[in-house]
């Protein structure tokens, strides 16, 4: 099963207010194992970066000035995700920005039926607990020491580890792969062994043993069997 774990960075919270996507990072997983394939890009948002957003992800106007427009890479992005399910943390936010960007360059939106939200999964698995990506990394012992600011590809990699844990942990990766299963069709018949007949051991007391027992009984004072 192929799945895409992804994250975005933006200029704000709502594309309807003119906010734009400035970074996207996608990780390919097959059978819940990262394959090493990814899609990562920065985009020129054609607007200024608010200071509050820059403080979160560190992407400045100067850094993004020479980056391509989303429209230039939209088809590459769609080719990479294919028709696979797409997993994100607070996925509605990311889907809104992706579909807004696709709409601006006249591409059809990504269907919301493909959306898997890890926040929703975490609510079921850990009701009442903190559900941020940082909190879930701490819960599952996932190292995020190299994460000083938000970054789409880095956060997608962390989320991939969290997603595996939310789906049941690393035992998922132990599934048998069909092409690695060896089917044994040869039946080996072992040669018959010759059994040696032995007489059964006698279990009846000998005359000497009976005499010794009778002599012992005479030494017992007031035996219960004599009452």
For 134-143, the pLDDT digits (tens) are: 999 999 999 9
The tokens describing 162, both together, are 């969290």
Mean local confidence (pLDDT), 60-65:
96
Q: How many alpha carbons fall within 13 Å on the CB side of residue 107?
A: 19
Closest C-alpha to 121, from 165, 74, 83, 158: 165
In this prediction, residue 33 has a pLDDT band, given cuts at 50, 70 and 90, of very high
Instruction: Indicate the average pLDDT of the chain.
Output: 88
Q: Which structure tokens are listed for 193?
A: 């062994």
At 227 the pLDDT is 58
Q: How far apart are CA 107 and CA 46, in angstroms?
A: 19
Residue 183 has pLDDT above 50, yes or no: no
Give, in words, the CATH class of 2-180. alpha beta
Interval 145-182: pLDDT, tens: 877 678 899 999 999 999 999 998 764 444 444 444 45
More confident residue, 162 or 218: 162
**pLDDT level of residue 97 (50, 70, 90 thresholds):** very high
Range in 14-28, 183-197, 212-226 the model is least confident about: 183-197
The one catalytic residue in 57, 89, 150, 161 is 150
150 is catalytic: yes
What's the rounded mean pLDDT across residues 64-92? 97
What pLDDT shows up at residue 174? 45
Cβ atoms of 144 and 18 within 8 Å: the answer is: no
Contact between 156 and 108 under an 8 Å Cβ cutoff? The reply is no
Contacts of 11-20 spanning 24+ positions with Cβ under 8 A: 11/45, 11/47, 11/49, 11/50, 11/53, 12/50, 12/53, 13/93, 14/96, 15/96, 15/97, 15/100, 15/101, 16/100, 18/47, 19/97, 20/45, 20/46, 20/47, 20/70, 20/97, 20/101
The pLDDT > 90 percentage for the chain reads: 70
- Residue in this structure with the two tokens 């051991």, named with its chain if needed: 201
pLDDT cut 70: percent of the chain above it: 87
pLDDT tens, residue by residue, 105-118? 999 999 999 999 99
Torsion of CA 144, 146, 150, 152, to 10 degrees: -90
Query: Residue 83 CB: number of other CB atoms within 10 A?
Result: 10
pLDDT of residue 226: 65
Rounded mean pLDDT, 46-63 = 95
Place of tokens 């006249």: 106
**Residue 213 confidence class, pLDDT cut points 50, 70, 90:** confident
């Amino acid at each position: 099963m192929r799945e895409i774990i992804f994250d975005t960075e933006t200029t704000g919270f709502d594309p309807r207010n003119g906010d734009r996507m400035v970074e996207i990072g996608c990780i390919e997983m097959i059978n819940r194992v990262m394959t090493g394939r990814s899609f990562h890009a920065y985009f020129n948002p054609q607007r200024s970066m608010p200071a509050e957003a820059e403080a979160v992800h560190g992407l400045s106007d100067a850094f993004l000035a020479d980056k391509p427009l989303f429209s230039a890479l939209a088809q590459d992005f769609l080719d990479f995700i294919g028709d696979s399910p797409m997993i994100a943390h607070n996925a509605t936010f990311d889907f809104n920005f992706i579909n807004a960007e696709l709409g601006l360059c006249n591409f059809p939106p990504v269907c919301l039926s493909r959306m898997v939200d890890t926040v929703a999964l975490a609510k079921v698995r850990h009701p009442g607990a903190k559900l941020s990506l940082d909190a879930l990394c701490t819960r599952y012992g996932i190292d995020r020491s190299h994460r000083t600011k938000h970054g789409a590809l880095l956060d997608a990699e962390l989320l991939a580890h969290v997603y595996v844990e939310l789906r049941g942990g690393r035992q998922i990766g132990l599934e048998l792969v069909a092409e690695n299963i060896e089917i044994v069709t040869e039946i080996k018949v072992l040669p018959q062994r010759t059994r040696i007949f032995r007489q059964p051991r006698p279990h009846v007391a000998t005359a000497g043993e009976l005499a010794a027992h009778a002599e012992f009984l005479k030494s017992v004072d007031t035996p219960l069997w004599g009452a």
